[in-house]
A and B are shown apart, each in its own frame.
Chain A
């Protein structure tokens, strides 16, 4: 049986463990160990574990932590933010961790806070996660009462305040600098980088931002060691991963599996396609990743191997396209989302994504023209990385550019037959 540290304490359909139960089930071991180490040694252990950011970009977590200046003359307060905005369509992994084991996240936050010597932590939660909010509030209160938060944490002398911030809904709040603006009470437009948040974040102070799943891994790295953690995953991709599958498979769901599980193995977990349906492809890690096809069933789902196949691991929650679902319609839905959520700051994004959506709507309505595909292709280049302020637009055109490659015939049929062949 492969190990499942992240989900071992989560009991489906039941309330999460309280602090006493959490501790009996092995919780707090990582925090106790961390508090006996120097902050730099904690960061070094996390770096050594090859834990990489589960928010989608896969940045080496310990390396990011090391960017936070912590010397005696550096600015304070220092901030830590747990990114629990999870609004990427097709992603449903952080919700399980938030609802199922909130103390695990809090423990991870305290360890991360200690490593970068943070004074104040925010847990940035999207408003629709109401059950998570209720359980987090309870867990935070228990953590304060149990001495895990507040002054002199577990007798170590280290102090951390933790506040839950419930957002008002916008995909851009998940983008880390948009999140910072939102926490400051502004519109969630992104900020220029550099400076990067570890140097100048909330109110200009050093701010470490990590994804929920990233932080939930941290207690286990400390409790069991970097070497153990590395051995759970694939090369340079330590640990397990919460992988999800949605779409017309037999058993959609979420599983904690070794990092580097293949596309085919994950589809098997989901029971394969529903009877009578054929797998045509998938977005391996949420809405803003490129399609993989049945030529890619052997691809290992980690931060190094998926890019070699032309896509990204993203959030690790796969959206499956079957042969009775129209790829053009799917793209229309995706680009509608991205156009709606564009923050409006830069032209390629706010103008281009709406344009893409309109063309896709026209194709679906049987009003497509042959030159439309060139416009769509132009838009995928126009919104490529480096042309826009943040990564929303490049992410938005990833599924589009790969759909134009793999499902070209379907786009052309819409134009030729002047209708959607799936309707």
Chain B
């Protein structure tokens, strides 16, 4: 069941589009904002609300990189794996994060605190390597330059 809050947030966008279906990406975002991810049940509820079949909605949901169809941790750390960051040390950043968090990209820490995922260029290529945690952009993160910096950032997300 969608909560009345979720439903209200979805319907708030309804006036922007001539069809119900066009709401679906924002509806998935609303659900994800409240629950962290989109479960099969939530997917069915959103589909019913918008007059879509669950399969049709899942086809859309699985197309997009930022719709999570599996549970994620309390915080999601997106490290940029695109070219400018790669040149500037994105692999070192990835290895540092994997080692500190004890997970591989795609994984969630056993205490449920972090999910670590690669992301496409964050538009911060002049401050590479870059990472985004829960929507906050963090810049200039080469562990070879400042190994403590990344650790200090992670500390801010208990």
Q: Per-position contact with B for A72-87: 1 when CB-CB < 8 Å, else 0?
A: 0000000000000011
**Closest approach, in angstroms, between the C-beta of A10 and any C-beta of chain B?**
15
Which of A163, A169, A184, A325 is the one whose CB lies under 8 Å from B87?
Answer: A325
Q: Per-position contact with A for B60-76: 1 when CB-CB < 8 Å, else 0?
A: 10011111000000000
In contact, B83 and A319 (Cβ under 8 angstroms): yes
Q: Per-position contact with A for B91-125: 1 when CB-CB < 8 Å, else 0?
A: 00000000000000000000000000001111111
For residue A89, CB closer than 8 A to chain B, the reply is yes
A334-B127 contact given A90-B121, A168-B65, A169-B65, CB 8 Å threshold:
no
Closest to B59 in A: A187
Please report the C-alpha to C-alpha distance between residue A329 and residue B83 in the assembled complex, in whole angstroms: 10
A90-B82 contact given A170-B65, A171-B120, A246-B126, CB 8 Å threshold:
yes
Given contacts A90-B83, A244-B126, A248-B88, 7 further A-B contacts (CB under 8 A): A87-B120, A88-B121, A90-B121, A92-B126, A170-B64, A187-B63, A334-B83
In contact, B125 and A246 (Cβ under 8 angstroms): yes
In contact, A185 and B19 (Cβ under 8 angstroms): yes
Closest to A182 in B: B25
Interface residues of A (CB under 8 A from B): 86-92, 94-95, 122, 127-131, 163, 165-171, 182-188, 203, 244-248, 252-254, 283, 287, 317, 319-322, 325, 329-330, 333-334, 336-337, 341, 343
In contact, A94 and B123 (Cβ under 8 angstroms): yes
For residue B28, CB closer than 8 A to chain A, the reply is yes
Which of B17, B26, B121, B135 is the one whose CB lies under 8 Å from A130?
Answer: B135
Please report the C-alpha to C-alpha distance between residue A321 and residue B86 in the assembled complex, in whole angstroms: 11
In contact, B21 and A184 (Cβ under 8 angstroms): yes
Q: Per-position contact with A for B128-147: 1 when CB-CB < 8 Å, else 0?
A: 10001001110000000000
Most B CB atoms within 10 A — which of A188, A247, A248? A247
Interface residues of B (CB under 8 A from A): 16-19, 21-26, 28-29, 50, 59-60, 63-67, 78, 81-84, 86-88, 119-128, 132, 135-137
- Residues from chain B with Cβ under 8 Å of A91 in the complex: 121, 123, 125
In contact, B60 and A287 (Cβ under 8 angstroms): no
In contact, B121 and A248 (Cβ under 8 angstroms): no
**Closest approach, in angstroms, between the C-beta of B92 and any C-beta of chain A?**
13
**Closest approach, in angstroms, between the C-beta of B43 and any C-beta of chain A?**
14
